[in-house]
Chains A and B, each alone.
Chain A
Amino acid sequence: MTKTGKMGALVIALLLSVTLLAGGSGFASDGTVIVDNSSAISWWIWPLLLLVVTFIMGVAAVLGGVGGGVLFVPIISGFFPFHLDFVRGAGLLVALAGALAAGPGLLKMNLASLRLAIPVGLIASTFAIIGAMVGLALPTQVVQIALGVTIIGICILMLVAKKSTVPDVPKADQISSVLRIYGIYQEASTGEIIDWKIHRTWQGLLLFVTIGIMAGMFGLGAGWANVPVLNLLMGAPLKISVATSKFLLSITDTSAAWVYLNQGCVIPMIVVPSLIGIMVGSFVGVRLLRVAKPGLVRWIVIGMLAFAGLKALSKGLGF
Chain B
Amino acid sequence: MKGDPRKSLQASPEQIVYAEVLEKGMLLGLVLILASFGLYVLGIIKPYIPLNEISKYWSYSVGEYLQVAKIHQGWWWIQMLGYGDFLNFIGIAFLAGVTIICFLVIVPVLWKNDDKLYTAFAILEAVILSLAASGILGGGGH
Contact = CB atoms under 8 A, between A and B. Distances in A.
Interface of A: 29, 32-35, 38-39, 42-44, 46, 81-83, 85-86, 93, 96-97, 100-101, 103-105, 107-110, 113-115, 118-119, 121-122, 125-126, 129, 132-133, 135-140, 178-180, 182-186, 193, 195, 250-251, 254-259, 261-272, 275-276
Nearest to B56: A35
A125 B5 contact: no
B15 A269 contact: no
Given A115-B118, A184-B6, A258 B139 contact: no
Nearest to B12: A114
B128 interface: yes
Given A103-B22, A258-B132, A110 B59 contact: no
A114 B18 contact: yes
A103 B129 contact: no
Contacts of A133: 137-140
Nearest to B29: A100
A96 B96 contact: yes
23 contacts: A38-B59, A81-B58, A83-B58, A100-B22, A101-B30, A122-B125, A125-B128, A125-B129, A133-B139, A136-B141, A140-B61, A254-B132, A255-B128, A255-B129, A259-B139, A262-B135, A263-B139, A266-B92, A267-B54, A268-B37, A268-B40, A268-B92, A269-B58
A35 B59 contact: yes
A269 B54 contact: yes
Interface of B: 1, 4-6, 8-12, 14-16, 18-20, 22-23, 25-26, 29-30, 33-34, 36-37, 40-41, 51-62, 65-66, 71-75, 85, 88-89, 92-93, 95-100, 117-118, 121-122, 124-125, 128-129, 131-133, 135, 137-142
Contacts of B118: 115, 118, 179
Given A32-B61, A43-B51, A103-B22, A110 B139 contact: no
B61 A115 contact: no
A248 to B, nearest CB: 11
A121 B56 contact: no
Contact of B96 (A44, A135, A257, A275): A257
Nearest to B99: A254
A254 B99 CA distance: 7
A269 to B, nearest CB: 5
B85 A180 contact: no
B28 to A, nearest CB: 11
Given A262-B73, A264-B141, A100 B60 contact: no
A140 B34 CA distance: 31
